[in-house]
Chain A
């Protein structure tokens, strides 16, 4: 996957005298001068090398390492391939794995069932050109500019057992971040707080792009507002819907910062991303094992990235 584009990019540099079969709009490419060809090669090659070296090759290496027993210290030629042993170890003898999968799925479910529809609902309300709409919008997407790590700290002021606002107001004595039976919900609320604003923004942009004549036609036909939305507007926003779906899946898969600042993803806050990190930077450097976990993340995300790319590329071609 990673070296393929390199080869093709090289081949693409001499201009393949592009005449098109679809009408005469696109003109025949003029022959490019030698300097032009060098410039184009560099313009593509330098960034491509960077992305290949720092993103695609490491991704590939992760997949390869997941089949080895490397401890991260010995020389590379002493690596033994152990087949799928790391994967079976992950599933069978690694206690945090099952909770982590459950937490990731729970995260996805909450973002998808609660935060995303709420963001969409707010976008629909704000699309009505209300007075003061600017204020509402600003308030709602303010959290989007904060980092998730910072959000962890800000919410600690509400969640802290001894100094937190929630316990002070309700006279309760719950350690919202520390108690392993509630902390995953606490961080998900903080995460949703940010996600809602982002989704609202995406849908607000999507709603502005909907052809107004569609709504007028629906209104003439006597359709109610909610019926118009679900039967006419929502289906028209299909590309945005798919983007939101992918953003939500990838966000929940990549969730990391919040649980890491709370307790490094332990004690009730296990997530796949935190487990990978623990296995590499932590005390035990189990490379093959950590890579198997990382490969699982990679495969899941690639499925959704492909869906995303197929959608936006189709959009672009239209």
Chain B
């Protein structure tokens, strides 16, 4: 860097100059305030990590406000007692198909909405978007009944019902999350130049090819952002798994925590090790794909 100006790298990788500001007392105060707030915000998570790394015996004897008793045993015990391996797998069985299916179905609808100028499109958009905003509990009663009525062959669900099966949870998550993705993707697709389709049609491309080979590759940034967001949301989903599952062994990891609390008695060190284990996948995704995550959240809110 030979230039003297300070630069800031923007999201698309270009450097833009930023005016260098003097540190006035007012700015110092501002930084002080932000540091205090930020640390206060991190504190509960940091405390959970700290607690999880200390032995129960030490904290029981010396209180939690003490120093020492460092150990990894809580993680080992929590992993074993709570069978986290199994529950993580359950989460994978539910989250991966649900996210892929949501993105696929939502992009289909979004494509039709964005590609054609039909009056019905506005209604469609409304039907999908509103569905995502309804309170889940308002649908619970008929859904609960429906799930206990719909039979599945035994190789798909050992309860032989949609209730208490992975399929049921995948379907309900897809149905619920589609709305948000339709909304975001249709906005995104509307911004693509229409000439693309003209050109594709001149080349004789069918509607399916226009969707799959023209539109979808261009939507990669939006799809990546949505995938990141949906993975965390469906992984974090608590309500449907709690009410539409019965067998403890099949619970995804987020909902299984509730059942585990009983097993852990009042051993907060174990509870916190369990919490950290459950949080790790979302935290890893968040730190690795932070840009996508943030963009996904704000894609839905503004036209940006």
Contact = CB atoms under 8 A, between A and B. Distances in A.
B207 to A, nearest CB: 4
Interface of A: 5, 8-9, 11-12, 15-16, 18, 20, 26-27, 29-30, 32-33, 35-36, 39-40, 43-44, 46-48, 50-51, 53-59, 61-62, 65, 72, 122, 125-126, 128-130, 132, 135-136, 138-150, 153-158, 160, 162-165, 168-169, 193, 196-198, 201-202, 204-206, 208-209, 239-240, 243, 246, 250, 253-254, 256-257, 260-261, 272-273, 276-277, 280-281, 287, 290-291, 294-295, 297-298, 301-302, 304-305, 308-309, 312-313, 315-316
B141 A62 contact: yes
Interface stretch (B69-77, B81-89, B151-159, B264-272): B264-272
A157 B272 contact: yes
Query: Among the interface residues A29, A47, A141, A257, which one has the most CB atoms of the partner chain B within 10 A?
Result: A47
Contacts of B126: 309, 313
A46 B105 contact: yes
Given A59-B138, A206-B301, A125 B30 contact: yes
B44 A193 contact: yes
30 contacts: A12-B118, A18-B118, A27-B198, A35-B208, A39-B207, A43-B112, A51-B127, A55-B131, A58-B143, A62-B138, A129-B8, A136-B34, A142-B41, A145-B282, A145-B283, A149-B236, A153-B257, A154-B47, A154-B272, A160-B268, A162-B266, A202-B302, A254-B136, A257-B238, A260-B242, A277-B243, A280-B141, A297-B138, A298-B138, A316-B187
Given A260-B242, A313-B126, A316-B187, A54 B134 contact: no
A168 B63 CA distance: 8
B207 A125 contact: no
Residue of A29, A163, A298 with most partner-chain B CB within 10 A: A163
A178 B148 CA distance: 34
Given A51-B175, A136-B37, A145-B283, 15 more contacts: A53-B175, A55-B134, A58-B140, A144-B297, A147-B236, A147-B237, A153-B271, A153-B275, A157-B268, A193-B44, A201-B297, A276-B138, A297-B135, A301-B135, A316-B190
B290 A138 contact: yes
B285 interface: yes
B211 to A, nearest CB: 7
Contacts of A149: 236, 238, 254-255, 257-258
Contacts of A205: 298, 301-302, 304
Contacts of A46: 105, 108
B204 to A, nearest CB: 10
A56 B282 CA distance: 30
A295 B109 CA distance: 29
Given A149-B254, A257-B238, A55 B297 contact: no
Given A145-B232, A154-B45, A297-B135, A12 B141 contact: no
A2 to B, nearest CB: 9
Per CB-CB distance, the 4 closest pairs between chain A and chain B, nearest first, are A147-B236, A54-B175, A205-B298, A139-B38
B268 A125 contact: no
B219 interface: no
Contact of B133 (A11, A148, A155, A301): A301
B133 A47 contact: no
Nearest to A2: B127
Contacts of A57: 142
A146 B136 contact: no
Nearest to B229: A145
B137 A157 contact: no
Interface of B: 8, 18, 27, 30-31, 33-35, 37-39, 41-42, 44-45, 47-48, 51, 59, 63-65, 105-106, 108-109, 111-112, 116-120, 122-131, 133-146, 171-172, 174-176, 178-179, 182-183, 187, 190, 198, 201, 206-208, 211, 232, 235-239, 242-243, 254-255, 257-258, 261, 266, 268, 271-272, 274-275, 278-279, 282-283, 285-286, 290, 293-294, 297-298, 301-304
B112 A301 contact: no
Given A129-B8, A162-B266, A316-B187, A145 B127 contact: no
B65 A54 contact: no
A136 B286 CA distance: 15
A209 B117 contact: no
Contact of A43 (B38, B146, B172, B211): B211
B122 to A, nearest CB: 7
A188 B178 CA distance: 29
Given A59-B134, A276-B137, A140 B112 contact: no
A243 B136 contact: no
Nearest to A203: B301
Contacts of A16: 118
Contact of A243 (B237, B278, B301): B301
Contacts of B31: 130, 132
Given A44-B109, A240-B302, A250-B133, A55 B141 contact: no
Contact of B41 (A129, A140, A155): A140
A206 B120 contact: no
A256 B175 contact: no
B144 A158 contact: no
A19 to B, nearest CB: 10
A50 B174 contact: yes
Contacts of A136: 34-35, 37-38
B30 A157 contact: no
